[in-house]
Structure formats: structure tokens, C-alpha cells
Structure 1
Amino acid sequence: MKAKLFRILAFTVAFAGAFAAWPAHAAKIRVVTALTDLADLTRNVGGDHVEVFSLATGIEDTHGVPMKPSFVPKMNQADLVVVAGFGLEHAFLPALLEASKNPRIQYGKRGYVDCSKGISPVGVPKSTDHSEGDVHPNGNPHYLLSPVLAKTAVQNIYDALVEFAPQYQADFKRNRDGYLAKLDAKIAEWKAMAKPLEGVKFISYHEEWEYFAKTFDMEVFGTIELKPGVDPTARHIENLISSMKAEHVPIVVREPQFPEKVPALIAAETGAKLVKLPIMPGGVPKTSTYIEMMDYIVHTLVQAVKEVGRASA
């Protein structure tokens, strides 16, 4: 059904001329990214040689970015498509790739850049079936919330750009090295700032924070969803509240794509601090870059832990 829809969209766009086409930059490498964090990383490596368009804006569910007719010509003209991988984009990207009619960026081609290459996933299920909802069949795909693993994504983007345009390798290398040095400095800063977070338990709406928690020595106590993509039941919420009270879990994380009602209820019942954290740049104001997003996340969590500590003192 989705594939048929995008074939129709592609046919329609063909008659729309230059509708939503790329700007005319003769020497630019045209890159479409699935997510805004990948867009920012690509711009930092590609510099003046790339023109980057992100399918997501930062507020969406990363598993289900809403499709728009304007995406088809962007994909049709793209030189590279950059994805997080581990099946994160499975609900929307395959149909869009088919509709694009662009052989350069199909799965397995050199224009298809999977940034999960070299990363070992966590949470790989032993078995899956349709009753389990929107599971992570290839493991948890939200590794970009760890700045340490984001460095691997940067390297994968660099490798793809060099393969596509080797004449710019020196520029790409300079950009990559400069950005990685900046990211390393920020990681050291974030880890020092995050000392109060060590050992702190928290819950989130979706199973997204495992890599972040490992990087900053936190503990994901549970999720509001029954399983990834499966809405919580009343019994699950009751059990979660009871367990949080028993273990004194101080933080409830709500991601922008999920409603506030249930997280707010859980926070009120347990006395935990409710915080809204972005999962991509653009998810909340003043987080337009990857580094700004990580700054916001670490600062917000540290402040929340301090507030909970003062309230219980």
C-alpha cells in the first residue's frame, strides 16, 4: 500500500516540474538524511561541498516520520541517503526509496549510507512476532543519543563522502577531525557535568535511552510503553508506579513525540520529576545542532536530579 502510494506521488511530482527540487548548486553533493542529528553531522563533515535535507524536523517519532509528496523529488535527485540503520526507518524509508526511482541510493548501493556500521546494538530480541508491536528486531536503534557512538556515525558519513567525491577528501578530513575534536571536548565536559547522574534511575516513554544511560552511568528503570510501539495498559502503569515508589526512581522522561498525560500522572503519583527531552536536534527550542541537543539533555537531567534532591532533603 505504501509503495503504491509513493508511486502515485512520484508520478504526480513528475508533472509538477521543479516542485520542491533542490537549489541549483552545481558542485554540491545532495544528501538526504532520515533524521536531524544525521543532517547536522553530515553538514559538519561535508562543509561547503554538501546540500543537506532532513526528512525529519526533530519533533517526530523516529520510527514513523510522516511522509510528504515533496520528499520524492528530493530523494530522486539525491546523491546519498544517510540513515541511522538497525531498522529504525523501516516504517517509512523503503516505500520512499521505491518511489524515488533513484538507483544510486537504494539499499546496498554506495549512495545508501548506514551509520550503524561498526556499532554493536543492545537489546537484540531472541525472537519477534507481529503481536509485539513496533519492536526493535535488529536491536535498539537509538545509539545517536550516545555522543560516543555518534563519533562512529561521523566516520561512516566521512567514508561515504570520500568514496563519492574523493577530490574533496582533504576538506572532508579537516572537517571530520575538527568536529571530532570538538565532540571529544564536549564529551569530557558532559561527563564531568553529569557526575550527579551516576547511578540515577529513570523511566522513559519509549525504549530510547539505553545507549545514553550507558555512556553516563545511569540506569533505565523501565518504560511507559508496554513494549516498543505498544501503548501501556492500566495494569502496567500501576505496576510501574508501585515499582518506582519502592525503588525511589526520581526522573520521568517524556520525549516530544509522545503525549504528556500518562508521564505527568506517573510523576505526580511517584513524586518524580517530569522532564521533556529531545531525541533529535530541533525537538525542543534552542537545540538546532547535535551538540546543542546534548547540552540541553545533560543540563536538564542534572538540574532535575538537583531539584529532586532539594525537595527530599
Structure 2
Amino acid sequence: MESNNKKINLNRTRLAGVILVLSLFFLRAGYAADRLNVVTTLSTYADIAKQIGKERIEVQYIVPGDQDAHFVRPKPSYAVMLSKADVFVTTGLDLELWVPSVVDMSKNDHIRSGQEGYVAAYDGIELLDKPTVLSRSEGGLHIYGNPHITTSPLNWKIIAENIAIGLIKNDPANEDFYRQNLSIFQKEIDKRLFGETLVKLMGGSLLTKLALSGQLIDFLQNKSYAGKKLIDYLGGWLGEGLVFRNKKIVAYHKNWVYFKQLFGLDIIGYVEPKPGIPPSPKHVEDLIVKMKKNNIKVILAANYFDENKVRNICAKVNAVPVIVPIYVNGAPGTENVFKLADYWVSHLKAAWK
């Protein structure tokens, strides 16, 4: 009898354990089903989405952080990913020309352009390099303007707002949650970009307007507060970037124009003769002559380009190769946008030591 009781108790314990496991499973499944499923093209968009959506969303991205978003072959796995998406974030220009094909394969009409599940990251950003003439002779021409919008922290603030709007459209019950996180993210960008002291003195909104108009540095150099030039209060990434402001460099591709505009770099030439066109020996020879003439000491390149080509050119002119990821998770130590900008600025600063 005692033996039977032990068996009954053991079975009850096992049954209770099974019930507990099943309860936790369905609880998690219900919680996961309650969250928005967000898919982005770029890892940078995915990180910004996480900053806004936090535990309310699940995020996946398509393009690895160390790959060129121009050249992605559509895969069935991408279509499967998108078929389950509530929100899809893409640049919205001609950076990811493979997107329409993958969206078609997904058969998810909710994330098509113009629908509530579609977010165009570029919306509201002043595009640079808008072509005046459309010609194949110009190489991989972007007909709307330069789509490499993720190289400016100021653009991240606008991208974050676009993503927040997309999340709110698809989860209006949590609008306050998303807007609060958007505000926190944008304020953190201000602090990291301008430095906490200057933000307290002038406010992030005014500093952002001055930076976007290209007037920030002149304004800070010509205005004073408490007996000091305002430029002396500039901290953050822009403060550190004063080391390389107005410095002449060469870049590999025209994917740093938004960074250049914000940080004041002077890009006098490119390793590519035209966007997307591999450099010929003659072009490389001419570039080396130009670099020597202008005493160029840095080549800036995204880490998905030909590193050997960059290093070989640098070796011939005694220049420093600054080879960095352009997207989040493109290299160790770039797990979010804040670390990515730290990486860019620290590597460029080191090149002028």
C-alpha cells in the first residue's frame, strides 16, 4: 500500500511538472504573439528599432553588418522572414534594389510600400548627391540621391522617428511607450554627439538645427558664454572629431557623404573612379599622384571593400588605412549605434596621432 502511494505521489509530481512546463510554454508563446514582429534590411535599422520597441517587439535583419547592402541575392529564407513581419523597415531609396523581389516572394501585402507595415527610413532626411543628369557613364547612379543615410548620427534621430511611427501604426495601444523611448533615444544621441554640457547650455533641438544647416561650428566659434567660446564646451563625437575636421582624405566609395557633412571632412578623391566601378590601374596611379600632391594621409573605407587594395595604395603614399564597419555588428565592438559611432570617431582620431 505504501509503495502504491509513493508511485501515485511520484506520478502527481511528474504531472505537475509537465503542467508547469506547458503553462510556461503557452505563456511565452502568448507573450511572443503579443509582440510586433519587425524585420529590417540593415542591422543599424534593427538596433534603432530595438531602442524604440524594446520588449514590445521581436527584431530580425537581413544584411549582415559587414556586407554591402547593394549586393544581396534574394533567398527563400528572407521571404519566409518577411512573410511573418508586422513591420518592415528599409531605406526606401535605391540602396536595396533587391527588396521588391523579396517582398513579392513573401506574399505579405501588409509590408508593401505604402501600406501600414512598411517604413521608409529615409523619409524626412535631406538627401545629398542628387543627380542633375541621369547617365550610365556616372557608374552606379542613385537617382534619388545618396542612400547611405546611416553614416550620420543626426540621421539616426530621423530614422528613429520613422520607425516609431511605423510601430505606433501597428500597435497603437502602446503609442506612449514608443514615443517615450523615441525621446530617450534622441536625447541620448544629442548627448553623445554634442556633449552633455553643451546640450544643457543650448538644448539638443537648437544644436541639431545648427548642425543640419552646416552652421554649428561657425556659431560656436563666434559666440561666448561665461567668458569662454562656446566651441570650448563642445564635447561628444563632434568634440572629439575636431581633430580631423577640415582634414583632406580619400574614401573608397561615396558612402560617407553624410558623415563628411556633419564632421567636416574634405574628401578629395575616391578609390572607385565612379560609384560601383572597380578602380583601374590607371585610376589608382592617378589617385596616388593626387594623394602625394595634396599630402593625403588617410583612406577611409567600409570593411566590405577590398582591404588589400586600400592597404597597397596607403603603403605607396605613407597613408593610414581607416577600415571600419558602416553598419551595426559589422565588427566586434559595434553592437549598437552608439558603439558604432565611437568606433568611427576613435579610429579616425587615431589616424592623425
Q: Aligned residues: percent identity?
A: 31
- Whole-angstrom CA distance in 2 between matches of 1:250 and 1:104: 49
Q: In the alignment, which residue of structure 2 is the partner of 1:80?
A: 87
Structure whose alpha-carbon radius of gyration is higher: 2
Please give the per-residue CA displacement for 1:185-216, whole angstroms capped at 9, x wherever unaligned.
11111011111111111112111111101111
2:64 paired residue number: 57
Report the counterpart of residue 269 of structure 1 in structure 2.
316
Q: Per-residue deviation at 1:135? A: 2.0
TM-score by length of 2: 0.78
Distance in 1 (alpha carbons) for counterparts of 2:341 and 2:30: 31
- After TM superposition, give the deviation of residue 46 of structure 1 in Å: 0.8
1:117-266 mapped onto 2 (5 Å cutoff): 117-188=123-194, 189-266=236-313
Q: Distance in 2 between matches of 1:132 and 1:148?
A: 28
Whole-angstrom distance in 2 between the partners of 1:60 and 1:174: 32
Moved more, 297-306 or 201-210: 201-210
CA–CA separation in structure 1 for the residues paired with 2:189 and 2:30: 30
Q: Distance in 2 between matches of 1:85 and 1:265?
A: 36
Deviation at 1:23, TM superposition (A): 11
**Cα distance in 2 between the residues matched to 1:136 and 1:23:** 44
Letter in 2 for 1:168: N
1:96 to partner: Cα distance:
0.2
Answer whether contact 2:52 2:178 (CA < 8 A) is retained: yes
Q: Say whether 1:109 aligns with 2:115.
A: yes
- Using the alignment, how far apart are the partners of 2:307 and 2:145 within structure 1? 27
Structure 2 gap segments, 5+ residues each:
1-28, 195-235
Normalised to the residue count of structure 1, the TM-score between the two structures is 0.87
93-102 vs 63-72, greater mean Cα deviation: 63-72
Residue type matched to 1:116 in 2? Y
- The superposition leaves residues 96-145 of structure 1 with CA deviations (integer Å, 9 ceiling, x where unpaired) of 01101000011121211001111121111122344544222211111211
Deviation at 1:261, TM superposition (A): 2.0
Q: Which amino acid aligns with 2:192?
A: K
Preserved CA contact (<8 Å) 2:74 2:101: no
Is this contact kept in 2: 1:142–1:209, CA < 8 A? yes
User: Is 280-289 or 22-31 further displaced after alignment?
Assistant: 22-31
Query: Are 1:136 and 1:228, in contact at CA under 8 Å, matched by a contact in 2?
Result: no
Which residues of 2 match residues 285-304 of structure 1 at below 5 A?
285-304=332-351
CA RMSD of aligned residues (A): 1.6
What corresponds to 1:94 in structure 2? 100
Residue 254 of structure 1 aligns to a residue whose secondary structure is: strand
Whole-Å separation in 2 of the counterparts to 1:135 and 1:262: 23
Is the helix fraction higher in 1 or 2?
2
Question: Once the 2 structures are TM-superposed, how far is the Cα of residue 24 of structure 1 from its aligned partner?
Answer: 7.8
SS where residue 32 of structure 1 aligns? Answer: strand
